[in-house]
Amino acid sequence: MTEVPRQAQEMDDIWSRGCRGADLKPEEQKRFAAMARSRSHTFTMGMDHARKNADENYVLGLIKGLARELQGAPGLLAIWERMDISESEDGEQVSLMVEKLQQDVH
């Protein structure tokens, strides 16, 4: 029974360190990249749902939300920039929003 919480805790640790851009062991890097792909898939599903419902406010909220997440997570941003989704129309909107947020901070 303690195996699941320990495994979940390890995954949380990998996610946290990966998002910060900390050095990960090769196996941890693979897990982090898989979690990042899952996060981008969740974003894509949310965008598809929002567009089907013609809810542009929700679309904008998803873009801003992911941009804020990426802006605060340099390791996640680095993976995002290497993913195909970042070159899609929605991905480019997210990346532009990240740039704007970074300029606002500096």
Spatial CA neighbour of 17 closest among 9, 105, 97, 82:
9
Mean pLDDT of each 10-residue bin along the chain, 106 residues long? 78 97 97 96 94 91 96 96 94 95 82
Spatial CA neighbour of 85 closest among 45, 57, 29:
45
∠ Cα 10 13 83 (to 5°): 105
The reported pTM is 0.88
Angle between helices 89-105 and 74-82 in degrees, nearest 10: 150
Query: Which residue is listed with tokens 């070159």?
Result: 87
Q: How far apart are CA 77 and CA 49, in angstroms?
A: 24
